[in-house]
A and B are shown apart, each in its own frame.
Chain A
Amino acid sequence: MIAAFIHRAVMQGVPLLFGATGEIVTEKSGNLNLGIPGVMYVGGISGVIGAFLYENSLADKSQANGFLAIMIPLVCCLLGSLLMGLIYSFLTTTLRANQNVTGLAITTFGVGLGNFFGGSLIKIVGADVPSITLSTTSKFFSASLPFADNLGWFGEIFLSYGFLAYLAVVIAIVTSLFLKKTRTGLNLRAVGENPATADAGGISVTKYKYLATCIGSMIAGMGGLYYVMDYVSGVWSNDGFGDRGWLAIALVIFTVWKPNFAIIGSILFGGLYIVHNYLNQFFPAIPVNMSTQELIKMAPYVVTVLVLIINSMRKKRENQPPEALGLPYFREDR
């Protein structure tokens, strides 16, 4: 049962991990992209559209090719999120628009886009329920590792996920190493800390901001893809993704901008998100009703606020947000 809980917590955590890793990369360039929730929606719906087109092009759904079934939605998802990242970068970096306003507009736009196309697809298939099911492609996304079923709790906790879950962990680790060990990572951090210094050091601030934001958006977008194609088994329903995008931003603060912490953090947040379903099983003595669940769901945000407060009080330099976070950069500013 604990294994089942951890299993569900990881499943919940993966979209958050994608979102948080993407946002960390973005924020390290000094861009506070509050459009991440919108980007994740677009990532999800782009994947759905890709999968939908692919499934509809098949005469016989049992003949689906695994490679195409994965690649088409994945590429669609990456392109969709890339587009959102480009809009954000163009407005904030090239046109130096206010980051908060732009980000919130991206979220409005992205969630709208997701629900619009989602709703349109639902209408096209004329389903009775307000959702669209893409079980054929989803099957390929959620296929777990071999032996997962034979290894008991070990298999359930470690091997029972779709490939995107492992990809999320790999990306988080790679990002962490990238930021810590490579020169490009060092340059990126410098851009977010002090763009004038980075600029004087010969780093193209504009290029780094664009790349970090776009790559960050693509990583975050995969969180949306994982959610629809794996977590809910290919069933898109409008607003189904909920507030996970904001939770991902909370996770960034909670992990003090460290992607490797985010791996554990995402599972913790994922666990808190669903723990109410298990509390009755774990502690039959303590009755947990529906209302208490809502308070438990509050925990990630409260914990995040506490982390934010404690870090601002301790003033440890390494745990602060990137110093130029949210500020536009113009070289000739005096």
Chain B
Amino acid sequence: MAANTKETGKEPLFHIVKRTDLPMWKSWLIRIGAVVASLIICAVIIILLTGDNPIQIYGTMVKGAVGSPRRIWALLQGVAMLLCIALAVTPAFKMRFWNIGAEGQVLMGGLGATACMILFGKTLPAPLVLVLVIVVSIICGAVWGLIPAIFKAFWNTNETLFTLMMNYIAIQIVSYFTYIWSSNKGNNVINTINVDTHAGWLELPPSIDKYGYMLNVIIVGALTVLMYFYLKYSKQGYEISVVGESENTAKYAGINVKKVIIRTMIISGALCGVAGMLLVSGTDHTITPNTAGGRGFTAIMVSWLAKFNPLFMVLTSLLIVFMQKGAQEISTVFGLNNSFSDIITGIIIFFIIGSEFFINYSIKFRAKEVEAK
């Protein structure tokens, strides 16, 4: 056949091969390089928008993030909340269960806390209310994580889509209760709950904790260490890793995969519940449908960027919250819009996720052969 003797295509200039042998330090060098590159791009954008010296701008950012004790505490609080949720989604991700429902699980936890504070704040003694707040918020979060897990375990229902939808169901449930419990009928706002009795408030005396964030930071710090040990050294953590790697291997090792999926999602949801409790009972003392504030989604990126390692998550969440706070300061000082920080966050994440390619693959050029022809 004549058609079959023709030359097909040209020798391609390069082709891509997977690599498995990149040393640890090189892969981190690539990631750090990506962060630096993204900061440069951000600087360029900021210069274009403000026309100012980038060093001065980054100075403003640093000042905005850590310029005063209050700001440092606010930064720590931001990091703690984001980190807490990132910790929560991590066991699920390690198991290759895409729990993108953290936003909803946090809200349900917060709602549980709110409910206890409102319903029992006037009738039960304050310490008991606090215990109820903690228990109920954890249960609420856990249930919200459990529902998609059951369907995943038994019917293999797509968990990404399921957990995503559960977020909005939670938001609407919270909206419903903010109307029901709103302080002035119809204005849809719950004023600070139990402002006189502080029943159900999770707090340290103001003499120790001036800004009211310390307890949250301590709790999340402890959770980080716990999660690190849970994932790395516990039997359940081991099971999670095995199930995530290969279900076949898990069965071979005698692991009940369904049980692990369900148990892990209960833990994941429960931790989100804790985050909701910390937000409601620890700092806000009220709830709105926006209490989680998108952290449920940002946390997914935090966890993923840290390669599911709780200790690295401290760094990645710090990076993101630092940039957000800094960008907020820039927008105030230079009269830009608050959403500027979202753009900065987006750009940094794009760079880091893009950099993973250069860690997992290498590009082989064929320059030599082309020359030879």
Contact = CB atoms under 8 A, between A and B. Distances in A.
Are A and B a genuine interacting pair, yes or no? yes
Interface of A: 32, 34, 87, 90-91, 94-98, 100-102, 104-120, 123, 238, 243, 246-247, 249-250, 253, 289-292, 294-295, 297-298, 301-302, 304-305, 308-309, 312-313, 321, 325-326, 330, 332-333
Given A95-B357, A246-B168, A326-B160, 11 more contacts: A34-B100, A94-B357, A95-B353, A98-B304, A101-B353, A104-B298, A109-B342, A113-B342, A116-B337, A243-B168, A290-B188
Contacts of A101: 300-301, 304, 349, 353
A114 B300 CA distance: 22
B176 A294 contact: yes
A308 B158 contact: yes
16 contacts: A96-B361, A98-B353, A101-B300, A108-B297, A109-B347, A113-B342, A243-B171, A249-B161, A290-B186, A291-B179, A301-B166, A301-B169, A301-B172, A305-B165, A309-B157, A325-B158
A53 B300 CA distance: 38
Contact of A116 (B335, B339, B349): B339
Contact of B341 (A112, A117, A298, A326): A112
Contacts of A291: 176-177, 179-180
B151 A309 contact: yes
Contacts of A94: 357
Nearest to A119: B337
Interface in B148-166: 151, 155-158, 160-162, 164-166
B160 A32 contact: yes
B294 interface: yes
B27 interface: no
Size range of the interface on B? Answer: 35 or more
A249 to B, nearest CB: 7
Interface of chain B: mostly helix, strand, loop or mixed: helix
Contact of A96 (B157, B161, B357): B357
A301 B168 contact: yes
Given A116-B343, A295-B172, A105 B301 contact: yes
B118 interface: no
Contacts of B188: 290
B183 to A, nearest CB: 14
Nearest to A32: B160
B20 to A, nearest CB: 12
Interface in B98-147: 98, 100
B173 interface: yes
A321 B164 CA distance: 15
A97 B301 contact: no
A321 B161 contact: yes
A142 B144 CA distance: 42
Complex A-B, nearest 6 residue pairs according to Cβ-Cβ distance, in ascending order: A112-B342, A109-B346, A119-B337, A291-B179, A298-B172, A115-B339
A304 B172 CA distance: 15
Given A91-B350, A100-B300, A109-B346, A115 B337 contact: yes
